[in-house]
Amino acid sequence: MKKIAWGITGAGDLIRETYETMINIKKHAQPEIMVFLSAEAKSVLKWYKIMDCLKRDFPGYKVASGPNTPFIAGSLQAGYYDLLLIAPATANTVAKIVHGIADSLISNAVAMAAKGDTPICILPVDQVRGTIKTYDPDGKAIYLKIREIDLENTDKLSRMENISVIKKPADIYGVLGLEQ
């Protein structure tokens, strides 16, 4: 894959691992990666002290200014990108996609990619039944109970046309046909 549109939502869980994966892919495979962020993603990246790295490593990144931002919608419909990757994806974003709501940059990008038949890959953060352990920006453990509704939405997402759901950031290498 040569051209990837990579959307990031406001999920703190998996954000560090996802960013490390982005850097490794950029360094070793050298695809064209257009990074775009929800407004919440920008806040989370700042909180996790990753935003300055993103500015340095992906200087052309974009931040949501509305759901139908021209830099992404037309390109996804026209097939300019080989893949739309949303990683990590919040439960809110997954719910919107599953229910056909395209009122944010990320959910609208998925709708546009689907209309243009661009392959879509999504990494939802809520995939494991029970309680998960994640970490705050200072490395302190946080335990989160995953809601049944979020698991149901992830399951529905995995059955949607033209959408692949992955379980962890390392799975992105396989999606791109790369070795880890």
Query: In the chain, what are the domains?
Result: 3-175 (3.40.50.1950)
Closest C-alpha among 115, 93, 114 to residue 104: 93
pLDDT band at 70 (very low <50, low <70, confident <90, very high): low
pLDDT band at 50 (very low <50, low <70, confident <90, very high): very high
Is residue 68 scored above 80 in pLDDT?
A: no
- Measured in degrees and rounded to the nearest 5, phi and psi for residue 114 equal -60, -40
pLDDT in tens, 99-140: 999 999 999 999 999 998 999 999 999 999 999 999 999 999
pLDDT band at 69 (very low <50, low <70, confident <90, very high): low
Peptide bond before 59: cis, by omega within 30 degrees of 0? no
Give the 3-state secondary structure of residue 138: coil
Q: What is the mean pLDDT of residues 54-78?
A: 81
Q: What is the pLDDT of residue 34?
A: 93
pLDDT in tens, 142-167: 999 999 999 999 999 999 999 999 99
Higher pLDDT, 57 or 67: 57
- Characterise 117 by phi-psi region: left (phi > 0), alpha (psi -120 to 50), beta (else): left
Rounded CA-CA distance 86/88 in Å is 6
Rounded CA-CA distance 73/136 in Å is 33
Q: What is the pLDDT of residue 76?
A: 84
